[in-house]
Amino acid sequence: MKGIRSWLARLVRLLEAPAAQAVQQDRRVQRLQREVVLPAKLVVLAAVYHYMLGAPWAEQPDSSFGVVLEALREFFFVYVGLNLVGWAVLLGVRRFPPGTVQWISFVLGFADGLFLGGLTVLTGGFDSVLYWVFPALIVLNSICIPLATPQLVLNLLLSGFFLLAGLVEPGLRSQELSVPQLPPRAQRKPIPPIRPLDLPDPYAVAARLQQGNDTLGRLLWQRLSEAARERIRELAHVPGQEELLRQVLADELNRLLPLSRYVVQPEEVTEVPGEPFLLRLVILWLLTFCCYGVQVLAARQRQVEEEAKEFAARSAQLHAAGRLAAEFAHQIKNPLAIINNAAFTLRRRVGADPAAASSLELIQEEVEKADRIITQVMGYAELSEGRVEKVPVREAIERAVRRVFPPGLDTGIRVELELREPLPVLLMQRRHFDDVLVNLLQNARDVLDGRGEVKVSARCVSDTVLEVVVSDNGPGIPADKLERIFEPYFTMRPKGTGLGLAIVKHNTELYGGRVRVESELGKGARFTVTFPIRAMDGAPSNGAGFAA
């Protein structure tokens, strides 16, 4: 039993479609529906409408087929209207919520299957030539609906529509005559010509035709010419005309023999073997799962190729940034060392001159400060040695919250998370994103001083940009300090180092992102960080993100 569960789990993982950008999928599907599928479908519907109006099916409005045809005609206008509305929406609306276009495709595909099932009832059920449209719809749905559940459900429903049409059609045929336009069953044998001797009681046959109490008699009487009907009426009321009446009836019925090919006898309904329609159903089911499997494989291959490009782009950016940082640090640090040595030598020479000593001391302090900044920048020289990896945004945020606000420690601060799915997976060095989150949360924790509320939200503002917001209801930041809040070593707290927000700015801009702050005194602060989801969406490759 455990082995079976393990095998099923592996099978589920194998068939699980990779997470993709829903907005990108919607754009592709929207363009396909708008420019290819719906225009082609409307052309086909025009042909179907012409065929339905031109077919003489409605000559028997009281028959079961007439009722089905009338119902299908009424649904036809609803079906056309639904497709026109869908086309107008896909043409007029440029941006949908993620996944919406695929559900629109699901509704249109469901209507396609329902209408096709109705046509299948009228055109032969399991023997209908329209069967071959079902595989085409399954392939189309697999292309237009990448989401696994709606795709599989819709394609299995198509198989159900075909099965239901095939089960309903024989019931109608056993009660009514088939319409003349339908192809005869292959196993149906032609009826031999009628001889006058085959009509022992011509008066009874003539009465049956005139009365029209059964479908066959009514159909044959309607198909006779007016002259033939008048001739039969005259002979049927004249005694002793049996031979002449037999001859007239035999001649007229033989003239109508081509129509008899479409007359279905009740025993013929059970003669159709079950294997052909079962085989057709199995083909539809296999096609459903094969199309899904092919789509999963194609999506995974596409994801692998995109990730390979993304990894290469990120690595190239970090390598370039690290190389620039190392060169910058080396070029600046050497002159600073010379200046510091010269100031030290001058201090020894000036001796007790207080003014000169004070100036030289100031020079040395500023050199030391610059040296600390350069040392920090030199840390970015290690960027090229870091490993780019997949960073799930939700997991990273939850991990950072647990690190700054441990679950078992009462900090007096309430933390609220608002993470709007779907959240992407970023390709970057994990510690860089972690440092951004941790420093923003530590900054909010420190300003609240054990009392207040911190809110963390994350969402995709588009299919290419991730937005993370950390806000608090603390004392706020004075307007004159907002411009300097991200400068290294600038702090408003006595115990602050002034590096936390500078690291946030550096790490964010390193990947082409942006960070901004909004605040008013007494109303807290709101830090907004945006990251491009892909490396090609604006990340600098020249180290521009190091400007402090």
CATH code, domain carrying 533: 3.30.565.10
pTM over the 0.75 mark = no
Give the per-residue SS3 of 319-364: HHHHHHHHHHHHHHHHHHHHHHHHHHHHHHHHCCCHHHHHHHHHHH
Does any domain span residue 278? no
Question: Greater confidence, 98 or 239?
Answer: 239
**CA–CA distance, 360 with 340 (Å, rounded to integer):** 9
The Cα-based distances of 110 to 89, 113, 151, 161 in angstroms read 17, 5, 11, 10
Within 351-478, residue ranges assigned H as helices are 354-378, 393-404, 430-448
Distance of CA 73 to the CA centre of its chain: 32
The Cα-based distances of 197 to 100, 221, 425 in angstroms read 72, 21, 87
What does residue 414 show for φ and ψ, rounded to 5 degrees?
-95, 130
Q: How confident is the model at residue 456 (pLDDT cuts 50, 70, 90)?
A: very high
**What's the number of domains the chain is made of?**
4
Examine the domain organization and report whether 507 and 456 are in the same domain.
Answer: yes
Examine the domain organization and report whether 88 and 177 are in the same domain.
Answer: yes
What residues make up the domain containing 156?
Answer: 20-184
Residue 50: count of CB within 10 angstroms of its CB? 10
Examine the domain organization and report whether 50 and 107 are in the same domain.
Answer: yes
Place of tokens 């299919």: 463
Q: What is the pLDDT of residues 190-229, one digit of tens each?
A: 567 778 887 888 888 888 888 877 777 777 787 788 888 8
Examine the domain organization and report whether 440 and 360 are in the same domain.
Answer: no
Domain boundary among 160, 184, 208: 184
Domain boundary among 158, 184, 210: 184
Domain boundary among 227, 245, 260: 260
What does residue 455 show for φ and ψ, rounded to 5 degrees?
-120, 130
Q: What is the pLDDT of residues 81-112, one digit of tens each?
A: 888 888 888 887 777 776 678 788 888 889 99
Examine the domain organization and report whether 213 and 317 are in the same domain.
Answer: no
The Cα-based distances of 164 to 118, 123, 167 in angstroms read 10, 14, 5
Does any domain span residue 521? yes
**CA–CA distance, 48 with 79 (Å, rounded to integer):** 12
Which segment of 22-26, 156-160, 484-488 scores lowest on mean pLDDT?
Answer: 22-26
DSSP class of residue 33 equals I
Place of tokens 């290294």: 488
The Cα-based distances of 384 to 107, 324, 520 in angstroms read 50, 11, 40
Q: How confident is the model at residue 330 (pLDDT cuts 50, 70, 90)?
A: low
Examine the domain organization and report whether 361 and 484 are in the same domain.
Answer: no
Does any domain span residue 266? no
Examine the domain organization and report whether 412 and 540 are in the same domain.
Answer: yes
